[in-house]
Chain A
Amino acid sequence: MTHVRPLANKLVPAAAALAAALVLAGCTPGTTTSDASGDAGTPVTGGTLVYASGDAEPSCLDPHVGGNYPQALVASQYLETLYTKDADGTLIPWLAKDSTVSEDGLTRTVTIREGISFTDGTTLDAAAVKANFEHLLNPDTASSTGYLALGKIDSMQAVDANTLELKLKSPDNSLLESFSMPWVAIESPTALKRSQAENCAAPVGTGPFKVESWKKQDAVNLVRNTEYVLPDPKAGHAGAAYLDAITWRFIPEAATRYAALQAGEVQLIDNAQPDAIAAAEKNTAIKHLDAPRPGASNRVELNSSKAPFNDAKVREAFVHAVNVNASIDSLFFGTAKRSYSPLSSVEPLAHSEESLFGYDPAKAGQLLDAAGWSERDSAGYRVKDGARLSLTFPVSTSQSIPAEQSLFEQMQATAKESGIEIKIKLLDLSSWYGELFTNNYNLVSAPYTKVGPGVLSILFHSDSTIPAPSGYFANLSQVKDPSLDVLLDTAGSTKDQAERKNLYAQAQQKVLEGYYLLPLYNQQNHFLYSEKLKNVGTTTAVASPTFFGTWLSN
């Protein structure tokens, strides 16, 4: 999945202090857990939470359509998923009661919970879920994330009122993880029959809140679902949410957003910047929620399909020529921890290899000399056969926070000392995609969020180098390694958990050793909120916060 932030949002930094974060990262929805500082007192009913999002305003509130992170954030308030993750990061059933898979892995049976209704009165049943899946798989819906997640479903059938049987094209051990993502959340089938424009404006779900109105470019107004039924009674208090309403505002400017929080105009902001987080740590009135996203880590990919990175030695030299750690320390104020894995640290199957990525200019020099880049031109850059060792680095201003852009600039400065030129091109999203589609890049940083290690297949399988009709492809380092493909295919279909873990570790080791990527840190997902807001910290499987148990103290 791709996530889109607004252009001006390049000013938004985000970072994570991993140690403090893990406790909070995967809280069960609805579980009334205290956050780090401890919320004392009795919950109070009432009040409106003003949420300020730094992300682009979605063009559709239904996350089936397209499917990006901003949609997931807001949709988590009014839609629920079949599965979710608890505080330990364990997958648990939510709207689904249970699920089984046949021995050959080709038939998946899902039992749907009873007694739950959508906010338009429609009853949740197997037919409703089927209607959702059909909606996702219908090309007219133009789903991208959900469509990919359900890609292996061949056919489906509602066996009875609460049992749905899915036939798969090939075994898929990531399916339940996919079901936990808001992009495949379950909506009212009655509502789905409306036109797409209507459904985009006000999707109908089973969540603790419902969409009341949407004033474009201003706010989405959510009100409490008074009829809410918590699917898992152990997960929180009985009855409806404490908050009367949520005003979901879009404030693209990071500095403005933080100022609005300080001024009390809003109670919670996302995409908090590292310096603001650091300042908030010292401020008792503002609290911090760090919820790293699952799936891939934030990384720079090295395009192995063309010179000079078609030479593994040059890739390795590059990795040693840039000093990432010093930059992360100074730019992220301790809110982000260096990653050495292709996967997010919240993924249980993440595999790290720190020893491969040390800053070692001497070694970089040796490797480059050995690769034939021994001469230098007047500007001090290495040359080979008259060509400068120059790397094009398109950066999307809407997908990269300022601290990250500064990090790239600092990489640029340290690489220069080893005689490597990096040309950073700041581009708007369309132009940025244009550079990728025409293979006009040597380095690129693109986010990808998905629950589970299955994301590795999307990012590194050779199938993913084949562009979609739009030109899009996810394997941006353009790894085409048949042995890696086999590893990923097998890991994705095996029923043996131990084997799955082992195979994914091998696959990660392979891409790391091949220097196809330079891991940076987790995909940053920081929230700052007013201390008046109590019991914040429950999140969905994709680390989007939920507010069922949250209340506003006076």
Chain B
Amino acid sequence: MSIFQQSKPVGDPLLNPQKTHARRREATLVRRLAVRLPLLASAAVLLFFVLAAIAPNLLAPFDPLAINPAQAFSAPGAGHLLGTDESGRDIYSRIIHGARPSLLIGAAATAIGLGLALVLGTIAGFGGRWLDFGVARILEVLFALPGLLLALVFIALAGPGVATTVIAVGLTSAPGYARIIRAQIIALRTSPMVEAATVLGRSRSRILTAHILPNALAPITVLATLGLGQAILWAAALSFLGLGAPPPAPEWGTMLSAGRTYLSLAWWMTFFPGLAIVLVAAASTVLSRSLKSGGGQ
């Protein structure tokens, strides 16, 4: 009896569902780790920064605002884990304290974007042909304007600041969300599930509130998780252009932008806040992807 093994991924789980399970069980410890590790790491990163946002003093050894010109530009080391900035402030403590404004900006912008999108998407998905047409045109126009232009004009209009940044980023992200939510609602509206509810004698409003909206919200959590990271990136870009949080607030984008000047002298001033942004954005993407695949089953 001879044994031969196929190593190339040529399977077809769609046609043969049992094979997927088989493949999973076959996964070695390394593979399982390779699949799970990013998710675990992402959850850990987000938990860490959420904790930092809630109770920064637990994690930060120094006052993020305390200046100490004599200690300026200290390299990462024993005294200051991630070094100090041009005013001798501890970078690590500032990143920890910066978690709150940065995450809040990201969360608030995402909330505004999603809220706006939910209203537009619901109107379009449920409001009949003409409303749908109108909303679709509005979205098209918003899409046609480059996001940064929209944000810049809005900031010029309302004056720079955290609130403006939040609204600008929210406004920029709304059309993308609205398009997805609209599609979702339309798909649900014509779904066998809604037909079954109609057959059972449920009213339109009951179907909307009990079936369509709750089910439309499921992908919204996926979007929100993904959006959080993107909103933080956007807000950081605006801060970089000098339109973000006012000093001396330890907001990541502002820190990054301040550090850029000293890149060749003190790379840690730029590198670590940037790393925080990358970590949160990447972690939220990983989490959102796993939510998506988990929710689909």
Contact = CB atoms under 8 A, between A and B. Distances in A.
Contacts of A405: 247, 258
Interface residues of A, number: 39
B72 A413 contact: no
A18 B34 CA distance: 60
B117 to A, nearest CB: 29
A322 to B, nearest CB: 12
A189 B274 CA distance: 55
Nearest to B245: A426
A412 B160 CA distance: 20
Given A330-B69, A331-B86, A254 B261 contact: yes
Contacts of A7: 241-242
B264 A397 contact: no
A10 B247 CA distance: 14
Residue among B70, B86, B156, B263 with the highest chain A CB neighbour number at 10 A: B86
B247 A409 contact: yes
B258 A330 contact: no
The secondary structure that dominates the B interface is: loop
A253 B258 CA distance: 12
B248 A409 contact: yes
Interface string A399-428: 000110110111011100000000111111
B260 interface: yes
A201 interface: no
Chain B interface residue number, banded = 20 to 34
Interface in A273-287: 273, 275-276, 279
Interface in B203-261: 241-243, 246-248, 257-258, 260-261
Contact of B241 (A8, A254, A331, A423): A8
Interface in B14-72: 65-67, 69-70, 72
Interface string A1-41: 00000011011110000000000000000000000000000
B198 interface: no
B265 interface: yes
B139 to A, nearest CB: 30
Contact of B247 (A276, A424, A427): A424
A426 B247 contact: yes
Nearest to B159: A431
B248 A330 contact: no
A397 B87 CA distance: 19
A391 B241 CA distance: 25
Contact of B69 (A253, A259, A329): A329
Nearest to A329: B69
B160 A427 contact: yes
Given A11-B261, A279-B264, A406 B246 contact: no
Nearest to B257: A11
A406 B87 contact: yes
A279 B262 CA distance: 11
B125 interface: no
A412 B247 contact: yes
A412 B248 contact: yes
Contacts of A403: 86, 261
B267 to A, nearest CB: 11
Contacts of B257: 11
A428 B261 contact: no
Contacts, number: 87
A276 B70 CA distance: 19
Contacts of A428: 156, 160, 242-243
Contacts of B72: 330-331
Nearest to B86: A406
Nearest to A331: B86
Contact of B248 (A8, A279, A413): A413
B88 interface: yes
A10 B87 CA distance: 17
Residue among A275, A406, A431 with the highest chain B CB neighbour number at 10 A: A406
A7 B263 CA distance: 19
A548 interface: no
Interface string B127-169: 0000000000000000000000000000010011000000000
A197 to B, nearest CB: 26
Interface in B256-297: 257-258, 260-265
A413 B86 CA distance: 13
Contacts of A258: 264
Contact of A255 (B67, B87, B247, B260): B260
B164 to A, nearest CB: 11
A402 B248 contact: no
A41 to B, nearest CB: 30
Given A403-B86, A406-B86, A11 B260 contact: yes
A13 B241 CA distance: 16
Given A331-B72, A413-B248, A273 B67 contact: no
Contacts of A425: 246
Interface in B80-109: 86-88
B88 A424 contact: no
Given A409-B247, A412-B248, A424-B247, A13 B66 contact: no
Contacts of B66: 413
Interface string A244-256: 0000000001110
A326 interface: yes
B160 A413 contact: no
Contacts of A465: none
A423 B248 contact: no
Contact of B258 (A254, A402, A423, A427): A402
Nearest to B270: A255
Given A10-B242, A403-B86, A427-B160, A326 B69 contact: yes
B261 A273 contact: yes
A353 to B, nearest CB: 24
A170 interface: no
A421 to B, nearest CB: 12
Given A403-B86, A424-B248, 20 more contacts: A11-B261, A12-B261, A13-B261, A255-B264, A258-B264, A275-B261, A279-B265, A327-B69, A330-B69, A330-B70, A330-B72, A331-B86, A405-B247, A406-B86, A409-B87, A409-B247, A423-B246, A426-B242, A427-B159, A428-B242
7 contacts: A10-B242, A11-B261, A326-B69, A403-B86, A409-B248, A410-B69, A428-B160
Closest 6 CB pairs of A and B: A330-B69, A397-B242, A275-B265, A402-B261, A413-B67, A330-B72
Interface of B: 65-67, 69-70, 72, 86-88, 156, 159-160, 241-243, 246-248, 257-258, 260-265
Interface of A: 7-8, 10-13, 253-255, 258-259, 273, 275-276, 279, 326-327, 329-331, 397, 402-403, 405-406, 408-410, 412-414, 423-428, 430-431
